[in-house]
Structure 1
Amino acid sequence: MRRLLAFTLLLSLLVGCQSKEGTSPDSTTDQKQPEIELKYPIPVAATVGMVADLVKNVGREYVNVTQIMGSGVDPHMHKASRDDVQTIMNADLVFYSGLMLEGKMADTLIKVSRNKPVFAVTELIDEKTLLEPEDFNGHYDPHVWMDVAAWSQCVDAVKDALSQVDPKHADVYQKNAAEYKKELEQLHQYGLKTMQSIPEASRTLITSHDAFNYFGRAYGLDVQGVQGISTESEAGLKRINQLVDMLVKKNIKAVFVESSVSKKNITALIDGAKAQGHDIIIGGELFSDAMGEAGTYEGTYTGMLDHNFTTVARALGGTAPEKGMQGKLTR
Structure 2
Amino acid sequence: MNTFYKIVLGLSLLLATGCKQATGNKLYLGNRQIKVVATTTMIADLLTNAGKGRVLVESLMGPGIDPHSYEPRESDVSRLMEADVVFYNGIHLEGKMADLFEESAKKKHVFAIADGLLPEDIRKEIQTNTPDPHIWFDVQLWIKCLEFVNAKLIEIDPDNSSIYETNKKNYSATLNELHQYVKQQADKVPKEQRVLITAHDAFGYFGNAYGFQVRGVQGINTVAEANSGEIGSLATFMVKNKVRAFFVESSVPRKNLEKLKEVAALLDPNFMLSSGGELYSDALGSKNSAAGTYEGMVKHNIETIVKALVP
The question of a shared fold, defined as TM-score above 0.5 by the shorter chain, is answered with yes
1:21-67, CA deviations, whole angstroms, 9 ceiling, x for partnerless residues? xxxxxxxxxxx966543152211100001111111001012111000
Q: Paired residue for 1:122?
A: 114
Residue from 292, 301, 307 that aligns with 2:285: 292
Q: CA deviation at 1:196?
A: 1.6
**Aligned partner letter, 2:163:** V
CA contact (8 A) 1:241 1:272 kept: yes
Q: Paired residue for 2:149?
A: 158
Residue from 166, 170, 179 that aligns with 1:175: 166
CA contact (8 A) 1:34 1:115 kept: no
Shift in CA distance, 291/152, structure 1 to aligned 2, threshold 3 Å:
same
Q: Paired residue for 2:58?
A: 66
- Which range moves more in the overlay, 303-312 or 123-132? 123-132
Q: Paired residue for 2:233?
A: 242
Q: CA deviation at 1:265?
A: 0.7
1:89-109, CA deviations, whole angstroms, 9 ceiling, x for partnerless residues? 111111111111111101011
Residue from 68, 75, 78 that aligns with 2:70: 78
Query: For residues 121 and 236 of structure 2, what CA distance do their matches in structure 1 show?
Result: 32
1:249-302, CA deviations, whole angstroms, 9 ceiling, x for partnerless residues? 111121001111110111111112223221111011111111111233311111
Name the SS of the counterpart of 1:70 in structure 2.
coil
Aligned length: 286
How high is the TM-score relative to the length of structure 1?
A: 0.83
- Identity across aligned pairs (percent)? 41
Query: For residues 137 and 275 of structure 2, what CA distance do their matches in structure 1 show?
Result: 20
**Aligned partner letter, 1:98:** G
**Aligned partner letter, 2:88:** Y
CA contact (8 A) 1:58 1:176 kept: yes
Q: Residue 107 in 1 paired to residue 95 in 2?
A: no
CA contact (8 A) 1:35 1:117 kept: no
Q: Residue 283 in 1 paired to residue 276 in 2?
A: yes
**Aligned partner letter, 1:281:** S
- Which range moves more in the overlay, 125-134 or 139-148? 125-134
Shift in CA distance, 94/274, structure 1 to aligned 2, threshold 3 Å:
same
Matches within 5 A, 1:83-232: 83-136=75-128, 138-232=129-223
Name the SS of the counterpart of 1:255 in structure 2.
strand
CA contact (8 A) 2:48 2:57 kept: yes
Q: Residue 55 in 1 paired to residue 47 in 2?
A: yes
Gaps of 5+ in 2: 1-22
Q: CA deviation at 1:122?
A: 1.7
CA contact (8 A) 1:33 1:116 kept: no
**Aligned partner letter, 1:74:** D
